[in-house]
Amino acid sequence: MLTSRQSRRLLLPAAGLALVVLVAGCDRDPTPAVQTDTLGEGEVTETVNASAEVTAKARQDVSASVGGVITSLEVEEGDTVEEGDTLARLDSEQVDEALEQAEAAAAAAEQIDQVAIDGSGGETRRAVEQAAAEVRADAQPTIDEARAEASELDDDDQREAALAAADALESSLETTVSTLTGFGEAIAAAQDNTAQSLSETLNTLLQQATAAERAQAQAAAQAAAEQEDELVLTAPIDGTVQFGRSGAAGDGLAGLGDLGGLADGLGGLGGLPGGLGDGADLPGAGDLGGQAEELPGGTVTVGAPVSPGQPVFTIYDLSESLVTASVDEIDAPEVAAGQSAEVTVDAVGDEPFEGTVEHIDLEGSPSGAGGVDFDTRISLGAAGDDEDSPAAALRPGMTAQVQITTAEVTADLVVDSRALVNRDGEQVVLRVAEVDDETVAETVPVEVEAQGLEQIAVSGDLDAGDELIVAGYEGVDDGDEVELQR
C-alpha cells in the first residue's frame, strides 16, 4: 500500500508550464536544462489512497447449537429471506431422548409431594357402629319380651307398672347406644384431625426437602425443550442465502451441547419414584455423545449431518453496496465520516463508483507490511434493482482501490508538486532568477500548506508569477546557471 502523501494526491490544472530546451555549447560544459512551472493561484485536492474489499452491509452465519441431520430445506441458495424465516429443520435422536427423559423426571418430581396419612377415624366409626348394633341386638329382645308379658297381666296397675318398666329399659338402651356413638365420633374426629395435621406438616417438610430436585428436573426439561427449538434454523437478518457445508457428524454429536450432562443431571434427582432418581436407570445417561457415528462432511442437503456450531448457512444483507478500505495509520487522522471517495473495482470495469465515508474504526489492526491499518467503511449507496448496473455485479470479497478526498484548498501560491525538493532535511523549491544577465537557480525554503498528487500549495519568500524548477534540478545548487526556453 502507498504510504507517502506525495503518491496519493489528485492533480488540478496548473498554469504556465514551460518546457526547456537544451542549448549546448561547443567549448564549455553544457548548462543544465530545466523545466519550470509558474507559481500562481489554484486549488489543491488532498486525497488518501488505500486498498479495499467489497463487503456486505451485514453478514451473519447460521449454525445449530446441537448436532443432528437435516430433514428438510425450506430455501434454495440465492433466495432472499426475511428475519425469522425458517431455513432448515434438523432431527436428533439424542435431543428427543433427552427431552422425553427430562419431561418424565419433571412430572415425577411434581408428584412426590402428594402425601396423605389415614388417621383411622373411619375405622373407629365402623367399630362403634358395630358395638352399638350388638348392644341393641342383645337388649332389644329382652325388652320386647318384658313388654309382651306386661301386656298379658290382668291387673291394670300391675300391667301399667310393668309396661312403664319396659319403656324405661328401652329408653336406657337408646341412651347407652347414643352415648357410645357420640363418644366414638369424638374419637374418630380427633383421629382425622391429627392425621390431617400430620399430613400437612409432612407435605411441607417434603416440599422443602425436594425443592432442589424439582427445580433441577424442571431446568432439565426446559433445557431439553430449548435444544429441541434449536433444531429449527431461522434467518437472523433479512438478506440473501448462501449454503455452507455439512460437518463430520461423529465429531458434532460427540459434542452435543450438554446432553450427556443433562442425562447425568437427571440421574442426580434423588428420591424420585420409579427409579428416576438413579442415573443408571436412564437410557444413555451420560453417554449420548458416544452413540454418534463418524460420517463424512459435504454440501448442505437433506440427510446431511450437521455439527454443533458449524455454519450451515450465511445470510448476506446486500441492500447497500459497501467497501471496507485499509487506511494506513499515517493517513488515518485525515479521514472522517462524510468525506467523498472514488472506488475502483477491477472486476467490474475501470469506471469508478462515487462513495461516501461512513465510518473509520477507532482501533487499528496490524497490516501485512508491519504497520497498522484502520478499517474504513465506504458506502456506494443502495444496491438498487437494476440487474444491468455495474453495482449489481459487485460481490463481497472483490478487491478494490479507493481514493478519499480529505481536503480541498484554494491558495494563492500553487505549483506543480514536482517543484518540492528535499535538501539536507529541509523542504525547498528552486526559483529561476536573472542575476547579472544570467539565469540562475535560487534555493527558497518553503512550508507546504496543502499537498495533492500533482500540485502543492506553499508559503515562503515567494510571489505569484515566480518560475519554479520542476524537472532537471538534479545536481543544480543555489546560484548555478541554468537554461530554459520561455
pLDDT in tens, 156-202: 888 888 888 888 888 888 888 888 888 888 887 877 787 777 777 76
pLDDT of residue 209: 53
User: What are 389-409's pLDDT values in tens digits?
Assistant: 778 889 999 999 999 999 999
Distance CA 331, CA 217 (A): 60
Compute the distance between CA of residue 485 and CA of residue 24 in angstroms, rounded to an integer: 13
C-alpha cell at 335: 479521514
Distance of alpha carbon 214 from the chain centroid: 32
Report which of 248, 246, 244, 251 is spatially closest to residue 295, judged by C-alpha positions.
248
Quote the CA–CA distance of 364 and 146 in Å, as a whole number. 121
Number of neighbouring beta carbons within 10 Å of residue 107: 13
Distance CA 237, CA 168 (A): 98
Q: How far apart are CA 206 and CA 204, in angstroms?
A: 5
Among 397, 447, 412, 450, residue whose Cα is nearest residue 426:
447
pLDDT of res. 361? 96
- Distance between CA atoms of 419 and 451, rounded to whole angstroms? 12
Taking alpha carbons only, the member of 324, 318, 321 closest to residue 401 is 324
How many other CB atoms are found less than 10 A from the CB of residue 22?
13
Average pLDDT, the chain: 78
Nearest of 378, 375, 373 to residue 394 by alpha carbon: 378
- pLDDT by position in tens, the chain (length 486): 333 343 333 333 433 333 333 333 444 468 899 999 999 999 999 999 999 999 999 999 998 888 888 888 999 999 999 999 999 988 876 655 666 665 666 566 555 555 566 666 778 888 888 888 888 888 888 888 888 888 888 888 888 888 888 888 888 888 888 888 888 888 878 777 877 777 777 667 666 656 666 666 566 666 656 666 678 899 999 999 999 864 443 333 333 344 444 444 444 444 443 433 443 343 333 333 333 333 334 578 888 888 888 899 999 999 999 999 999 999 999 999 999 999 999 898 888 999 999 999 999 999 988 899 999 999 998 876 667 677 888 999 999 999 999 999 999 999 999 999 999 999 999 999 999 889 999 999 999 999 988 899 999 999 999 999 999 999 899 999 998 865
pLDDT score, position 259: 41
Looking at the DSSP assignment, which residues form a beta bridge with residue 443?
430
Q: Tell me the per-residue pLDDT of 335-360, one tens digit each, with 9 for 90 and over.
A: 999 999 999 998 988 889 999 999 99
Q: Which of 141, 117, 133, 137 is nearest to 184 (CA)?
A: 133
Residue 310 CB neighbour total at 10 angstroms: 21
Cβ atoms of 443 and 427 within 8 Å: the answer is no
Mapping DSSP to helix (H, G, I), strand (E, B) and coil, where does residue 454 land?
Answer: coil
Helix (H, G, I), strand (E, B) or coil at 329: coil
